[in-house]
Amino acid sequence: MNSLSCILVIIAVLIVPSLGTAADTKSASHPAGADQYEHDFSDIAKHVKAFESPERDAWQKPDDVVSLLQLWPGNVVADIGAGTGHFEPRLAKAVGATGRVLALDVEPHMVTYLKRRVKKEGLGNVTVQKVAANDPDLADGSVDRLLVVNTWHHLPDRARYAAAMNRALRPGGFVVVVDFTAESPEGPPAHARLSPATVIAELSAGGFSARTVEESLPLQYVVIGQKQVASMGRPAPTARQADLVEVINANADHARFTRGVNTYTVKTLEKALKPTDDPELRALLYHDDTIVTRTAASVFAARGDRGLAVLREVAIDAALPANNRSVVEDVIWTANARQASAVGARRSGNPGPERGRAPRPPRVAGTALDED
């Protein structure tokens, strides 16, 4: 083996996923002082058998993991440490023909195998790319979501890597990191495992707002890192917004128990809206009057509007009056749930990254289903 081949083998072992095979605990190396776990993945046949086994699906729950990404058609998602492409068919389906999946891996044998798999399965929206161990090689602002499954503990200089991922994300984007718990019978040796707190700290050092989220995985935890962006602030009121507020207030007394939010008031507002009014309606979500906000939010809830969730990710948190945020959260839940259902994702009751750590709150008057 020449010197170049040796270098490639050394680089190759730094990033690709580690599953609970015998090699994980017996033949892998972890040099003293290294901050990443090294593993030899050059035996493709052996790892394909392990990575694609039904036993893995039982604890990896790939459909549930993909649902955490809250993908919708047209998204660009990068799978860092794609390995044999276990997640690629699911990701390709979630983003649809108008979206793209970037399957990234450092191991040349894995990349070769995955290219053949993508071609064989006709995954036309999946691009396979070999990358360096210390850089995802993604252009700034080029992706909506990042997925890192069973790979984070392999990466060197993870805070720096997190910063590179942060730059690659578009506003409102986030990364989902899935790794093994300390007690898991699968995964790398104990000394190579990372706690959720460590992953959160490393993502935070890269500029993310990171937290654990509820999940259904029996052997793993999930940390989500949200790209932080400056708030756009509360939009200045316009004459059209004032007109819409008048429509809401004129019909608010039709609801006896819901403080102006019911089917009648929502339908009246919908009839008054013009095709160009969406920006004006979104601006009403910032209104100080809770009745105005709840009525506007109910229109979005009736639509299951994913665009509202994107707006929230970019700007709403810092700009909305505190007493209105729960209403918007309920609308976002509705939008996410409808979109996930539309792309066939199984949510399994998980609240997803917009909801954070808490389960869905009791229903508030944030939908168009309230009656007199």
Segment 43-92, tens digit of pLDDT: 666 666 666 677 787 888 999 999 889 888 888 999 999 998 999 999 99
Instruction: Give yes or no for a contact between 40 and 13, defined as CB atoms under 8 angstroms apart.
Output: yes
Q: Which residues contact 332 (CB under 8 A, 6 or more apart)?
A: 308, 309, 312, 354, 355
pLDDT of residue 108 exceeding 80, the answer is yes
Instruction: Yes or no: say if 224 and 354 are a contact pair by the CB < 8 Å rule.
Output: no
Are the C-beta atoms of 96 and 60 separated by less than 8 Å?
Answer: no
The contacts of residue 358 (CB under 8 Å, 6+ apart) are: 351
**For residue 246, what pLDDT is reported?**
92
Helix 108-120 × helix 3-12 angle, to 10°: 70
Angle at which helices 263-272 and 290-303 cross, to 10° = 80
Pick the CATH number of 3-227 from 3.30.1130.10, 3.60.15.10, 3.40.50.150, 3.30.870.10: 3.40.50.150
Number of Cα atoms under 13 Å in the Cβ half of residue 229: 21
The stretch 301-307 carries a mean pLDDT of 74
pLDDT class for 294, splitting at 50, 70, 90? confident
Read off φ and ψ for residue 118, nearest 5 degrees. Answer: -60, -45
**Confidence at 142, pLDDT banded by 50, 70, 90:** very high
pLDDT at 147: 98
